[in-house]
Structure 1
Amino acid sequence: MLNNTYRSMKKAREIWDVLHNKYFNLKKDIDRFTIVNYFYHKFDPNKSMMDEISALDVYITKLAELNIVVPNAIQVDAILSKLPPSWNSYHKKILHSNETFTVEQLTTNMQVEIQGSESWM
């Protein structure tokens, strides 16, 4: 099959160029797909909040492998914007806070919030 496809090409460079363009474009599509997935990821109400944040962290790691750096402030805002409606008061509290949170600080703060709400039940 490969032989039939590239039989008309006389030089290895021609085959290389065709294959490179084909798979390089495929990689770019996968890269775009990763970016889109990160920004359009919605939290599943059936999963724990920490699992959802971990899923976002996986996207950040994949983007870092592509040399795409997502600033910490955008990561924090992405997490806050994806919170379910039941977290609205927490979302507002963080947005109106004078503190600047890192992702690690935010997740720690959210874990405390989750544990606090579980202790009331």
Structure 2
Amino acid sequence: MSTVSFTPLATNLAHGEKPPKFSGAEFKRWQQKMLFYLTTLSLSKFLKEDPPVVTKGDSDTQRSTAVHAWNHSDFLCRNYILNGLDDTLYSLHSSVKTARELWESLEKKYETGDAVIKKFVVGKFLDFKMIDTKMVMSQVEEIQIIIHYLLAEGMEVNESFQVASIIEKLPPSWKNFKNYLKHKRKEVKLEELIVRLRIEEDNRKTKSIPHKRKLEDESKANLAESSHNHKRKLPNNEKKQGNTKKF
């Protein structure tokens, strides 16, 4: 509970970066940015505080000062939050009286949507499998993006789990290399794993170049031989119709 000795906000507070407008998606991320913004303005406590309690022993001046200071700061906090909403959501929530009520109302309404998104991202992560027809490093980047979304949704995904997941999701043609990584006694860091995968993929590219050239050369040789055999089968003196003259 607040006391009557309420100190009005200073006017020269340093402002943090204003968060983007919330339109109904990725509420948790927006909420964290808004909370930081309100903290830099010394207004975040109004998201949890109740109005000050004025006792019978307080003078009228004390009562008036405490209530006015609290109402003013709560008004600022509430409107900073409202201004962080897009126009449609602003109109929908502008009737809420206090910053705390507004904050709790937004949590109640949009955290359910975030739970659905979280389940979708988790499912996408579990279903993700690397394939041989795409570059491994590009697929590793896709996994890291999914993990980034998991972290943004507040899920704990430690580095060891990320490393094990990437190794387990390597494509079929990487089976031997995957087994090599899985049986290493020393724990592999994420950055080290990325470097190893990049080197391995570069080595595979280098080895595949002579093989491709050999296949191309064999294909050209077969084509040339086929063309030569075809020419040998043609008659040596082929008579052309229409060359005989009528007398």
Is this a same-fold pair by TM over 0.5? yes
Aligned residue-pair number: 111
Match of 1:106 among 186, 190, 193: 193
In structure 2, the residue corresponding to 1:120 is in which secondary structure? helix
Q: 2:129 aligns with which of 30, 42, 50?
A: 42
> Would you identify which runs of 4 or more consecutive aligned residues in structure 1 move more than 4 Å?
16-22
The letter of the residue matching 1:71 is N
* 1:97 alignment partner in structure 2: 184
Give deviations 1:1-60, integer Å, cap 9, x for gaps: xxxxxxxxxx969xx889865533222100111112112211243321111110111111
| Structural mapping, 1:1-121, within 5 Å | 21=108, 23-121=110-208
- Counterpart in 2 of 1:5? none
Say which structure is richer in helix. Answer: 1
- Tell me how far apart the structure 2 counterparts of residues 64 and 51 of structure 1 sit (CA, whole Å): 20
- In the alignment, structure 1 segments of 5+ residues that lack a partner are 1-10
Return closer, same or farther for 1:23/1:67 CA change in 2, 3 Å cut-off: closer
| Contact kept in structure 2, 1:39 and 1:78, CA below 8 Å | no
Measure the CA separation in 2 of the matches of 1:114 and 1:52: 12
CA distance, structure 2, for counterparts of residue 73 and residue 20 of structure 1: 32
Spell out, residue by residue over 1:52-108, the C-alpha distance to the aligned partner (whole angstroms, 9 max, x if none): 110111111111212212111111111111111111110111111122111211111
Q: Contact 1:60 / 1:70 at 8 angstroms: preserved in 2?
A: yes
Q: Percent same amino acid at aligned positions?
A: 22
Q: Give the stretch that moved more between structures: 82-91 or 38-47.
A: 38-47
Q: Which moved more, 1:22-31 or 1:46-55?
A: 22-31
- Conserved in 2, the CA contact under 8 Å of 1:43 and 1:52? yes
Q: CA RMSD in A?
A: 2.4
Q: Which runs of 5+ in 2 are unaligned?
A: 1-94, 209-247
Q: Write the distance in 2 (CA, Å) between the matches of 1:19 and 1:99.
A: 47
CA distance in 2, matches of 1:24, 1:84: 36
Contact map agreement 1:72 1:102 (CA 8 A) in 2: yes
- Name the CA distance, whole Å, in 2 between partners of 1:19 and 1:57: 30
C-alpha contact (below 8 Å) 1:72/1:103 kept by paired residues:
yes
